[in-house]
Structure 1
């Protein structure tokens, strides 16, 4: 019982080490990996090679599948190119299995020691994350040595030998068991390495191990399909296509297991090498034979899983892809795109305000007010989506971007509320009351409205580009808009003094309106603050220090007298 528990603990440590390497590699190289994948889709062969490289770094073809699925869902990559990347990803996993099947246990203490030192000394930095990657690699190598030791002990048990011997007569059972283990462990790499170790320790025969390897490959395809079940249809097409490749590969290689044992077995005396070489050959042959049919497989997948004509919200494609959550940099991009749509809805509401005022359009006013529900829903969806991103998986820059997106969506939601209140006031105090602004007052409102719309567009650009120069320009607009509001408020008071009838009838609405426009402008200009603060441009305190003693409660003289 103790030996079995040790084996299970070693397997868990192997899976955990793989998880650490995958997560922190994405944290350090996530943006660069996205660029590599995006730039390599010119043809199927370069796409496949990029899949090899990215998966070799991530230690997981499933992680690559989730990244690629997000790209396809966002329209950044065609399904054909994505399937070619996945063929390369599976080959990359098999290459890493070849590497880790070597006896590298001597590297384990070195990796763990260096990794812990880097992580403790440089937490929340790139060096610290590299340290976590080294810790993960060290744990993987340590786990493999523990698996070997535990497996050797288990081979002494007659009950275990009898149980595992029952697998030798049923290839379908071997494939099923391998697939289940791969899904449960969330890593086909870990399972293949485990199978190789068990075969080398004679816990299972090589014949059984090869059947389990076929199942592990099939399980990695199933895992990606299961992970993306709630994703948009476009994101689910890639895992489904990859699963089709897995099924075809297993069907092609199943008759070759006996041939492999007959013709390759005599030349490879180490059972672990036999297993990982078979795993590599499986994926290499699958890549070579199937890369030419990616277009046909893409057509089959689109036929089996067609994109609904209206799988959108209000006729619009959603950008909050759940499958992208495994890759924080991609998930943040999805949130930015959804936040920009929220800002577009707010701009539509804001631009419609002037038409409502000029034309007394009651129907338009009510229609624009209903759009605030969309703004609120988008704010809620984006906020919930961002909370599902692990903050620990974000580096410092991504963490700041996460906060900026939250702040931006909150500001847009509040601006939507302001516009809704403005429209409600116009409906009650102007349209239904049959009142009109004075000609001068209408001109002032039109000018403030035009400035506000321009500032909103500038704010959206600042949020999207993080350009400090545009942020400075936006912040300057805040002062200009404030001066404009004070000027027009004084002009309105002067018209009241001149007994202007229209000004007297709409006085309350007029002053409330320009005040609400100023409040909305302040929320827009707030977008600039985090960008300027990160750039070191924004002073920590806007108060003039030389003025503070003069404004002290007792003054300098009183302080001296005490």
Structure 2
């Protein structure tokens, strides 16, 4: 029982390490990876290479499937090139299996050591996320070593040998068993390496292990389809096509397993190496077979899943008309209208945040985090739309407007991430322990929150109208907000000093919340910079103004 527990913990650690790498890479390079996937559709080969590269970085073809499906659901990518990306993603996963099948036990402590230093020293920054990625890679190599150690007694046990001896008859049944095991452990990488270990120990034959590997590929396709089950119809067509391609490959490969075994024996007779080589051979051969047939496969998927978007239509871009790209001024106007929709979603997240802070509503907290995904989707759509506008056709005014739109889009996307981070901290530090803010503390947070929301609305108004007085008012609010943060932090610490229980219990979250609200306010107030610069009222990022006017503007804002 202990040996089995060690094996299961090794598999769990492998999945967790893969997830850490995926999250870290997407946080550091998420927008760039999405951009690579979205623009690499000029031809099938470029899309295929993009799938290989991105999946090699995020360590998960399922993660690539989710990204690509979201693009198809938004209409940014057609189904056919998306299927080419997924063929590349499958090859990328097989290449990572090749890498992790090597003896990398010496690398694990080094990666974890460096990763922890980077993550703790620069938490929240790009370097900190890179450290997170290194920790994940270290955990993956450590997990594979633990799995290897745990499988040695397991595969030698008489009961295990009897169990796996039943997998020597029907290759199709063996394949289905491999698919089920892959769905359960949610990692084709772990399953393929485990099959290699079984073959290396002589528990199963090479033939059976290869059938299990086919099942791992099939199970991975099913897992990807399940992970996008909530998407709209176009998005689900990508993972459906991926599953159908893998199923076709398995049907073709099953009767050829003996021939494949003979071919692989020419390269090397070591059982584990033969298994991982077969996994790579299968995915490369499948890519070569279907890369030129993605269009018919896409049509088949459209026939199976007819209809348009069935998801939440309010997060689908409404104003990004591709026909307007030839008229830059009109295209910029469309992009500006879409940015305002992001502003609406961010304001909704802010409203939900205050309710979560007051009520500890876990369901609302989770729903608010999902809104950030919608913000990310709209951000990606706007960014890609703007990159399609010919900058050569922009005059000086339109060029400045292009910069304003992309800057506000980036700031609002960052604001959504900040709010999500506050929600996650609230869940961990407050809701999980059923804590509450003090009455005075909650009132101060509500006051600060109201001013942030007001400044978001004012910032969007400045973005639309370019009104100079509103821009001055916004900058005055930013200066006043610094003072407000200091006052509220001092007030909270005074409550802690007099032993207010609620303030002591929530002190860390309270101070972090005040700091994050200040950052949000700074993002919203930055809309004023272009207006003030055009008016000649900015000098090294400071507004030229009379102190009395500044005080008047703040008073007016209140």
TM-score, normalised to structure 2, is 0.63
- Please say if 1:462 is aligned against 2:458: no
Aligned ranges for residues 350-499 of structure 1 at < 5 Å? 386-388=368-370, 400-402=414-416, 459=460, 462=463, 474-476=470-472
Q: Are the aligned partners of 1:80 and 1:298 in contact in 2 as well (CA < 8 Å)?
A: yes
1:19–1:543 distance in 2 versus 1, CA, 3 Å: same
- Please say if 1:259 is aligned against 2:259: yes
1:164–1:529 distance in 2 versus 1, CA, 3 Å: same
1:169–1:116 distance in 2 versus 1, CA, 3 Å: same
Q: In 1, distance between residues paired with 2:462 and 2:187?
A: 41
Report the counterpart of residue 194 of structure 2 in structure 1: 194
- Please say if 1:529 is aligned against 2:525: yes
Q: Are the aligned partners of 2:459 and 2:528 in contact in 1 as well (CA < 8 Å)?
A: no
Q: In 2, distance between residues paired with 1:220 and 1:50?
A: 19
- Please say if 1:305 is aligned against 2:305: yes
Q: Are the aligned partners of 2:94 and 2:279 in contact in 1 as well (CA < 8 Å)?
A: yes
1:341–1:272 distance in 2 versus 1, CA, 3 Å: same
Report the counterpart of residue 504 of structure 2 in structure 1: none
Report the counterpart of residue 7 of structure 1 in structure 2: 7
Number of residue pairs matched by the alignment: 398
1:530–1:173 distance in 2 versus 1, CA, 3 Å: farther
5+ long unaligned stretches in structure 1 = 321-335, 346-375, 407-454, 464-468, 480-524, 549-562
Report the counterpart of residue 181 of structure 1 in structure 2: 181
Report the counterpart of residue 96 of structure 2 in structure 1: 96
Q: 3-state SS of the aligned residue for 1:264?
A: helix
- Please say if 1:34 is aligned against 2:48: no
Report the counterpart of residue 62 of structure 1 in structure 2: 62
Q: In 2, distance between residues paired with 1:92 and 1:402?
A: 31
5+ long unaligned stretches in structure 2 = 318-335, 346-350, 356-362, 377-409, 421-455, 476-520, 531-537, 553-558
Report the counterpart of residue 432 of structure 1 in structure 2: none
1:98–1:460 distance in 2 versus 1, CA, 3 Å: farther
Q: Which is higher, the Rg of structure 1 or of structure 2?
A: 1
1:245–1:471 distance in 2 versus 1, CA, 3 Å: farther
In the TM superposition, what is the alpha-carbon distance from 1:31 to its structure 2 partner?
A: 0.8
In the TM superposition, what is the alpha-carbon distance from 1:3 to its structure 2 partner?
A: 1.3
Aligned residues: CA RMSD: 4.2
Q: Are the aligned partners of 2:179 and 2:216 in contact in 1 as well (CA < 8 Å)?
A: yes
Q: Are the aligned partners of 2:161 and 2:203 in contact in 1 as well (CA < 8 Å)?
A: yes
Q: In 2, distance between residues paired with 1:24 and 1:533?
A: 32
- Please say if 1:166 is aligned against 2:169: no
Q: In 2, distance between residues paired with 1:19 and 1:404?
A: 21
Q: In 2, distance between residues paired with 1:460 and 1:193?
A: 57
Aligned ranges for residues 222-261 of structure 1 at < 5 Å? 222-261=222-261
Q: 3-state SS of the aligned residue for 2:25?
A: helix
Q: 3-state SS of the aligned residue for 1:104?
A: coil
Q: Are the aligned partners of 1:111 and 1:134 in contact in 2 as well (CA < 8 Å)?
A: yes
Deviation per CA, 1:134-168: give whole Å up to 9, x if none: 11111111111111111111233111111111112
In the TM superposition, what is the alpha-carbon distance from 1:401 to its structure 2 partner?
A: 2.6
Q: In 1, distance between residues paired with 2:26 and 2:77?
A: 19
Report the counterpart of residue 215 of structure 1 in structure 2: 215
Q: Are the aligned partners of 2:115 and 2:133 in contact in 1 as well (CA < 8 Å)?
A: yes
Q: 3-state SS of the aligned residue for 1:69?
A: helix
Deviation per CA, 1:71-95: give whole Å up to 9, x if none: 1111111111101111111011111
Q: Are the aligned partners of 1:44 and 1:81 in contact in 2 as well (CA < 8 Å)?
A: yes
TM-score, normalised to structure 1, is 0.62
Q: In 1, distance between residues paired with 2:550 and 2:166?
A: 88
Q: Are the aligned partners of 1:241 and 1:301 in contact in 2 as well (CA < 8 Å)?
A: yes
1:473–1:214 distance in 2 versus 1, CA, 3 Å: farther
